[in-house]
């Protein structure tokens, strides 16, 4: 089993982001997804139909709009100004959707499956983030989610995780790499930098995650080279 959670890379965590952002917006009086959709329509963004077709499978514009909304909220929460970068953000979201679809298709082709027990466990983990059943229902309503949709996404993520875990190599990080990363961090943070022993484990996990992410991206690129893909944005 990989030391880092490969599932962080996968589509299902968009659900966590959507639900979390929904609750934050409600608490802060922010704009809901429905309001954002209305705003987009007012700006003339009324395109219909799939945003891409991957080996004959259509990727819906509704899913794209959800993920784009989540990405925009994440950028905003980090204080990143997206003005003038809308096209790049749109393309990034579509590329992520295509990548996840390619991984899912290949996982299915390779015969990977998710058991009901695994799905139930992931669903329990997902819903445990909410303070109450009522807050979960409110978040689901705000983001257009329901139990069936969440379980479907969780099933997909489990299958993809199993496939990716088999397809990529075990990652190793040397002490020298950790020290180099620590030195760079210390130079940037100055006196505020934690001690090496305190920061070592976190740095190691970050490096492992980055190397795994690079391998997954290479895997997606190889699948994309062999795929029939049409993008419509």
Q: What is the pLDDT of residues 82-92, one digit of tens each?
A: 788 888 899 99
Mean pLDDT of the chain: 82
CA-closest candidate to residue 99, choices 153, 150, 59, 69: 59
Mean pLDDT in residue range 23-37? 43
Q: What are the start-end ranges of the E strands in the chain?
A: 52-54, 57-59, 229-231
Proportion of the chain above pLDDT 90, given as a percent? 60
CA atoms of 46 and 38, how far apart (whole Å):
10
Q: pLDDT by residue (tens digit) across 123-169? A: 999 899 899 999 999 888 887 788 998 999 899 999 999 999 999 99
CA atoms of 139 and 31, how far apart (whole Å):
14
Q: For residue 143, what pLDDT is reported?
A: 76
Q: 99 vs 129, which has greater pLDDT? A: 99
Helix (H, G, I), strand (E, B) or coil at 24: helix
């Amino acid at each position: 089993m990989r030391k880092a959670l490969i599932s962080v890379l996968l589509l299902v965590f968009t659900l966590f982001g959507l639900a979390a952002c929904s609750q934050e917006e409600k608490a802060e009086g922010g704009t809901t997804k429905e309001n954002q959709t209305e705003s987009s329509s007012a700006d003339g963004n009324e395109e219909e139909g799939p945003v891409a077709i991957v080996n004959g499978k259509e990727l819906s514009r509704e899913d794209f709009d959800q993920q784009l909304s989540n990405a925009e909220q994440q950028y905003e929460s980090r204080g990143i100004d997206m003005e003038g970068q809308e096209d790049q953000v749109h393309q990034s979201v579509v590329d992520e959707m295509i990548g996840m679809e390619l991984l899912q298709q290949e996982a299915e082709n390779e015969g990977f499956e998710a058991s009901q027990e695994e799905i139930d466990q992931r669903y329990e983990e997902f819903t445990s983030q909410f303070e109450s059943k009522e807050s979960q229902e409110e978040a689901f309503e705000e983001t257009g989610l329901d139990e069936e949709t969440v379980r479907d996404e969780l099933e997909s993520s489990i299958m993809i995780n199993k496939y990716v875990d088999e397809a990529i190599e075990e990652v190793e990080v040397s002490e020298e790499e950790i020290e180099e990363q620590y030195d760079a961090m210390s130079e940037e943070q100055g006196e505020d930098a934690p001690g090496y022993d305190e920061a070592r484990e976190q740095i190691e996990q970050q490096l492992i995650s980055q190397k795994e992410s690079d391998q997954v991206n290479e895997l997606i690129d190889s699948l994309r080279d062999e795929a029939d893909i049409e993008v419509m944005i």
